[in-house]
Protein backbone atom coordinates (compact mmCIF):
# COMPACT_ATOMS: atom_id res chain seq x y z
CA UNK A 1 0.00 0.00 0.00
CA UNK A 2 1.19 3.52 -0.82
CA UNK A 3 2.81 5.24 2.15
CA UNK A 4 4.83 8.08 3.54
CA UNK A 5 7.09 7.23 6.47
CA UNK A 6 8.99 9.45 8.88
CA UNK A 7 12.06 7.58 10.08
CA UNK A 8 14.77 8.50 12.57
CA UNK A 9 18.19 6.91 12.09
CA UNK A 10 20.04 7.16 15.41
CA UNK A 11 23.24 5.55 14.14
CA UNK A 12 22.23 2.09 15.34
CA UNK A 13 18.80 1.51 13.83
CA UNK A 14 16.17 3.14 11.63
CA UNK A 15 13.11 3.83 13.81
CA UNK A 16 9.78 4.39 12.02
CA UNK A 17 8.27 7.29 13.95
CA UNK A 18 5.09 7.68 11.85
CA UNK A 19 3.65 5.84 8.87
CA UNK A 20 0.87 7.36 6.80
CA UNK A 21 -0.69 4.72 4.62
CA UNK A 22 -3.57 4.04 2.25
CA UNK A 23 -5.82 7.05 2.95
CA UNK A 24 -5.87 10.84 2.96
CA UNK A 25 -4.58 12.35 6.19
CA UNK A 26 -5.64 15.91 5.62
CA UNK A 27 -8.83 17.76 4.79
CA UNK A 28 -10.60 18.67 1.58
CA UNK A 29 -8.33 21.62 0.77
CA UNK A 30 -4.61 21.72 0.08
CA UNK A 31 -4.23 24.13 2.99
CA UNK A 32 -5.64 21.47 5.33
CA UNK A 33 -2.20 20.05 6.08
CA UNK A 34 -1.37 18.13 9.25
CA UNK A 35 1.00 19.59 11.83
CA UNK A 36 2.84 16.75 13.59
CA UNK A 37 4.76 16.74 16.87
CA UNK A 38 6.81 13.73 18.01
CA UNK A 39 9.02 13.15 21.06
CA UNK A 40 12.46 11.83 20.01
CA UNK A 41 13.92 11.56 23.51
CA UNK A 42 13.67 7.78 23.71
CA UNK A 43 15.98 7.28 20.69
CA UNK A 44 18.30 10.30 21.05
CA UNK A 45 21.98 9.81 20.24
CA UNK A 46 25.02 11.78 19.18
CA UNK A 47 24.50 10.84 15.50
CA UNK A 48 20.91 11.18 14.27
CA UNK A 49 19.20 12.04 11.00
CA UNK A 50 15.66 12.23 9.68
CA UNK A 51 14.59 10.08 6.73
CA UNK A 52 11.40 10.91 4.83
CA UNK A 53 10.29 8.04 2.60
CA UNK A 54 7.56 8.15 -0.04
CA UNK A 55 6.41 4.91 -1.70
CA UNK A 56 3.58 5.00 -4.24
CA UNK A 57 3.45 1.17 -4.31
CA UNK A 58 2.71 1.42 -8.03
CA UNK A 59 -0.55 3.21 -7.29
CA UNK A 60 -0.94 6.17 -9.65
CA UNK A 61 -2.37 9.41 -8.36
CA UNK A 62 -0.73 9.74 -4.96
CA UNK A 63 1.29 12.72 -3.83
CA UNK A 64 2.87 13.85 -0.61
CA UNK A 65 4.58 16.93 0.74
CA UNK A 66 6.50 17.97 3.85
CA UNK A 67 7.57 21.37 5.17
CA UNK A 68 8.76 23.25 8.24
CA UNK A 69 10.81 20.43 9.77
CA UNK A 70 12.29 21.22 13.16
CA UNK A 71 14.08 19.26 15.89
CA UNK A 72 14.09 21.25 19.11
CA UNK A 73 15.82 20.66 22.42
CA UNK A 74 12.98 21.18 24.89
CA UNK A 75 15.05 22.89 27.59
CA UNK A 76 15.45 26.42 26.32
CA UNK A 77 13.84 25.65 22.97
CA UNK A 78 17.08 25.46 20.97
CA UNK A 79 16.51 24.39 17.36
CA UNK A 80 19.00 21.61 16.65
CA UNK A 81 17.82 21.09 13.05
CA UNK A 82 15.40 23.26 11.11
CA UNK A 83 14.36 23.36 7.47
CA UNK A 84 11.61 25.28 5.66
CA UNK A 85 12.64 24.46 2.04
CA UNK A 86 11.93 28.13 1.22
CA UNK A 87 14.94 28.38 -1.14
CA UNK A 88 13.12 26.02 -3.54
CA UNK A 89 16.13 23.68 -3.90
CA UNK A 90 17.47 20.67 -2.03
CA UNK A 91 18.97 22.26 1.11
CA UNK A 92 22.68 22.09 1.79
CA UNK A 93 23.56 18.92 3.72
CA UNK A 94 20.33 17.15 2.71
CA UNK A 95 20.41 14.28 0.20
CA UNK A 96 17.84 12.31 -1.77
CA UNK A 97 17.80 8.75 -3.03
CA UNK A 98 15.66 7.14 -5.72
CA UNK A 99 15.11 3.55 -4.59
CA UNK A 100 12.72 2.73 -7.46
CA UNK A 101 11.44 4.67 -10.44
CA UNK A 102 12.84 7.70 -12.22
CA UNK A 103 11.58 10.80 -10.42
CA UNK A 104 12.89 12.45 -7.26
CA UNK A 105 11.68 14.90 -4.62
CA UNK A 106 10.68 18.37 -5.87
CA UNK A 107 11.43 21.58 -3.99
CA UNK A 108 9.06 24.25 -5.19
CA UNK A 109 5.43 25.35 -5.17
CA UNK A 110 3.04 22.54 -6.21
CA UNK A 111 2.25 22.13 -9.92
CA UNK A 112 -1.00 24.12 -9.70
CA UNK A 113 0.45 26.94 -7.58
CA UNK A 114 -0.59 25.59 -4.19
CA UNK A 115 1.63 25.16 -1.14
CA UNK A 116 1.41 24.19 2.52
CA UNK A 117 2.13 27.71 3.76
CA UNK A 118 2.51 29.81 0.59
CA UNK A 119 6.22 29.03 0.18
CA UNK A 120 8.26 26.23 -1.41
CA UNK A 121 8.19 22.80 0.21
CA UNK A 122 9.43 19.26 -0.54
CA UNK A 123 6.93 17.10 -2.42
CA UNK A 124 6.50 14.15 -4.76
CA UNK A 125 3.67 14.10 -7.28
CA UNK A 126 3.25 11.01 -9.41
CA UNK A 127 0.12 12.49 -11.03
CA UNK A 128 2.41 14.42 -13.40
CA UNK A 129 4.31 11.22 -14.28
CA UNK A 130 1.20 9.53 -15.64
CA UNK A 131 -0.43 6.15 -15.12
CA UNK A 132 2.29 4.25 -16.99
CA UNK A 133 5.16 5.54 -14.83
CA UNK A 134 7.28 2.92 -13.03
CA UNK A 135 6.95 2.24 -9.31
CA UNK A 136 8.30 5.18 -7.32
CA UNK A 137 10.00 4.89 -3.96
CA UNK A 138 12.19 7.75 -2.81
CA UNK A 139 13.93 8.94 0.33
CA UNK A 140 15.17 12.28 1.59
CA UNK A 141 17.83 12.43 4.31
CA UNK A 142 18.53 15.32 6.67
CA UNK A 143 22.06 16.19 7.70
CA UNK A 144 23.26 14.39 10.82
CA UNK A 145 22.73 16.14 14.12
CA UNK A 146 23.54 15.40 17.75
CA UNK A 147 20.78 14.92 20.30
CA UNK A 148 22.90 14.69 23.44
CA UNK A 149 22.77 18.26 24.73
CA UNK A 150 19.22 18.17 26.15
CA UNK A 151 17.12 15.57 27.95
CA UNK A 152 14.14 15.93 25.60
CA UNK A 153 13.87 16.50 21.84
CA UNK A 154 10.78 17.28 19.80
CA UNK A 155 10.37 16.73 16.03
CA UNK A 156 7.73 18.90 14.35
CA UNK A 157 6.72 19.10 10.69
CA UNK A 158 3.79 19.87 8.41
CA UNK A 159 2.74 17.30 5.82
CA UNK A 160 0.15 16.36 3.23
CA UNK A 161 -0.56 12.84 1.98
CA UNK A 162 -3.27 12.62 -0.68
CA UNK A 163 -4.46 10.45 -3.52
CA UNK A 164 -6.39 10.98 -6.73
CA UNK A 165 -10.02 9.90 -6.59
CA UNK A 166 -11.64 9.34 -9.95
CA UNK A 167 -15.08 9.91 -8.45
CA UNK A 168 -14.36 13.38 -7.08
CA UNK A 169 -16.58 16.04 -8.59
CA UNK A 170 -18.01 19.48 -8.03
CA UNK A 171 -21.65 20.35 -8.52
CA UNK A 172 -22.73 23.93 -8.91
CA UNK A 173 -26.40 24.83 -8.90
CA UNK A 174 -27.68 28.26 -9.84
CA UNK A 175 -31.14 29.12 -8.65
CA UNK A 176 -32.35 32.35 -10.18
CA UNK A 177 -35.61 32.42 -8.45
Q: How far apart are the first and last CA of the chain?
A: 49
pLDDT for 163:
58
Most confident of 14-18, 37-41, 141-145, 150-154: 141-145
Where on the phi/psi map is residue 68: left (φ > 0), alpha (ψ -120 to 50), or beta? Answer: left
Tell me the C-alpha distance between 176 and 106, whole Å. 45
Classified as helix, coil or strand, 42 is helix
At 147 the pLDDT is 86
Q: Check whether 23 has a pLDDT greater than 60.
A: no
What is the per-residue pLDDT for 44? 84
Q: Is the pLDDT of residue 168 over 80?
A: no
CB 20 within 8 A of CB 55: no
3-state helix, strand, coil in the chain (%, to 5): 0, 45, 55
Residue 41 dihedral angles phi and psi, to the nearest 5°: -55, -35
Asked whether residue 75 carries a pLDDT value surpassing 50, the answer given is: yes
Mean per-residue pLDDT, 56-64: 71
Parallel, antiparallel or unpaired: strands 78-83 and 34-39: unpaired
C-alpha angle 163/95/74, rounded to 5°?
85
The lowest-confidence range among 36-40, 58-62, 156-160 is 58-62
Report the pLDDT averaged over residues 15-36: 64
pLDDT per position as a tens digit, 115-151: 778 899 998 877 676 677 777 888 999 999 988 888 8
Residue 24 has a pLDDT of 53
pLDDT for residue 103: 86
Q: How far apart are CA 30 and CA 28, in angstroms?
A: 7
State pLDDT tens for residues 77-99: 789 999 999 999 999 999 999 99
DSSP at 134? P
Q: Give the whole-angstrom CA distance, residue 153 versus residue 70.
A: 10
Chain center to CA of 141: 11
Amino acid sequence: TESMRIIIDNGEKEHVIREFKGRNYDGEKFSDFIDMDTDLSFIASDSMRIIIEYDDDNQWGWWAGIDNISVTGKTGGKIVLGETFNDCVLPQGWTTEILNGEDDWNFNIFTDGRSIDGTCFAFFNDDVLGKEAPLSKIRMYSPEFSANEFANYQLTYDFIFRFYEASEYLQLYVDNG
